[in-house]
Amino acid sequence: MAGAPSGIIGCTWRVRELSANTRKLLALALVASLAAATGLAARKKKEEETQALPLPKDLPAAVVGETRHLTFHVTPLAAKGLLSQQVRDALRSLERECAGNPVLHIRAFVAGSGDLRRVRELVSEMFTERHQPLPALSLILAGGLALPGAQIELEAVANGKRELYPGGLAFFSAQPAFSDDPQEPVAPLLAKSLADLKNAVQLAAAAPGDVLRVTCFLSSLDKLNGIRDSVQSEYPKAALDYVQPQRAPQRAMAACEAVAGLRESGRRLAFRNGPGASARETSEVSLLASPRVILTGSQASFGFEDSDAHLALERLGKSLEPAGASLKDVAFLRVYPLSRSIEDQVRRQIPLFFTPESFPAGTALQFEGLPSADAGFAVDAVAAKD
């Protein structure tokens, strides 16, 4: 710039220099922004991947345990929280009680309006999180439990570390006592059921102190304290459970089933009935001395015809096959029908799968519901395995 003062030339140069620096800063800022955006996107993607939880694993249809090592448990009832919280609390209680021994089977009685399917999901989730083998599950909707507000009761079988019963196990069919009057007090019916159960325990050459678990199904849970005292005094070492199968039963009922440890070993699988036993589709007692035992989860029957009941029992047999057994190895059969007519269907089908000499012990009582609205009944089993 001819004739321009030297100060103007210096000023122009500084402006050009400032513009270059500004461009450089803008470029650096752009790079930083892109890097930040890339990092944010990566973090967001990672968070999204973390939040995409895997689906719960399917529970096994059947599991195998050691007959003489099994332990039997009933979780305490609690009324705090909704179903999911109560399930978690019950599973934590079971974990503490089993003290590291693997849980093989859970029978879950649910009361209230909670979604039964959530119970299955939570069992799978909690055992998976703890890297423990998944148990088989029998899931039943009951009419009520022995504590107001309680929505879940777990009966569990675990595999202990040491041999507990030199002679194996005895399974006792539920001993039912009925009255056509649904309002009749339960206590007299319970007294009859307990008397019949006592005779069955003697039939197995066992003592009351050998009984490991007793489950009493009652049409009403009113005045339960006196009932508890009766059962506790008879079987002081047993884990005890009280369940109301239906909210509004058509008749009054008490029926107690049990399992006991045996001191002397016998045949692999044997069945016994008292001298006055009438014709029935179950034995009073099953004696199981095989070294191992198979515990199945509940199999549902879909449909309400005899053929549907037949198919459900066939599926139960198929669930035993991978473990190396069949229906002829069943020691204890439990059926959970939703009506009297469905119960009658099952009873008509049982003789097609078992002979009178090999009817397993078992229980068939009407319950409030099942996980599937299309199911007419569910069935599970205990079977011998060599």
Whether 188 and 154 map to the same domain: the answer is no
Whether 241 and 178 map to the same domain: the answer is yes
Whether 96 and 143 map to the same domain: the answer is yes
Total of domains in the chain: 3
Q: What are phi and psi of 140, to 5 degrees?
A: -135, 140
> 3-state SS of the chain?
CCCCCHHHHHHHHHHHHHHHHHHHHHHHHHHHHHHHHHHHHHHHHHHHHHHCCCCCCCCCCEEEEEHHHEEEEECCCCCCCCHHHHHHHHHHHHHHHHCCCCEEEEEEEECCCCCHHHHHHHHHHHHHHCCCCCCEEEEEECCEECCCCCCEEEEEEEECCCCCCCCEEEEEEEEEEEECCCCCCHHHHHHHHHHHHHHHHHHCCCCHHHEEEEEEEECCCCCHHHHHHHHHHHCCCCEEEEEECCCCCCCEEEEEEEEEEECCCCCCEEEECCCCCCCCCCECEEEECCCEEEEECCEEEECCCHHHHHHHHHHHHHHHHHHCCCHHHEEEEEEEECCHHHHHHHHHHHHHHCCHHHCCEEEECCCCECCCCCEEEEEEEEEEEC
Q: How far apart are CA 69 and CA 168, in angstroms?
A: 9
pLDDT at 278: 57
In a domain, 30, yes or no: no
In a domain, 146, yes or no: yes
pLDDT at 375: 93
In a domain, 63, yes or no: yes
Whether 97 and 186 map to the same domain: the answer is no
E-strand stretches of the chain: 62-66, 70-74, 103-110, 136-141, 144-145, 152-159, 168-179, 211-218, 239-244, 252-262, 269-272, 285-288, 292-296, 299-302, 330-337, 361-364, 375-385
Among 134, 164, 194, the domain-final residue is 164
In a domain, 36, yes or no: no
First to last CA, the chain: 108
Eight-class DSSP state of 82: -
* CATH number, domain containing residue 261: 3.30.1330.40
Whether 304 and 257 map to the same domain: the answer is no
Per the structure, the complete domain to which residue 112 belongs is given by 56-164
Among 164, 186, 206, the domain-final residue is 164
Whether 87 and 156 map to the same domain: the answer is yes
pLDDT at 50: 46
CA 65, chain centre distance (Å): 16
pLDDT at 15: 41
Among 146, 164, 182, the domain-final residue is 164
Whether 74 and 150 map to the same domain: the answer is yes
pLDDT at 358: 87
In a domain, 334, yes or no: yes
Whether 159 and 169 map to the same domain: the answer is no
pLDDT along the chain (386 residues), means of 10: 44 46 55 53 51 71 98 97 96 96 98 92 96 97 96 98 96 96 94 96 96 98 89 96 96 97 92 75 93 96 90 95 95 96 93 90 96 93 96
In a domain, 42, yes or no: no
**Pairing of β 168-179 and β 269-272:** unpaired
Whether 105 and 82 map to the same domain: the answer is yes
Closest CA to 292 of 238, 237, 331: 331
Whether 179 and 121 map to the same domain: the answer is no
In a domain, 384, yes or no: yes
In a domain, 5, yes or no: no
Q: Is the pTM of this model over 0.75?
A: yes
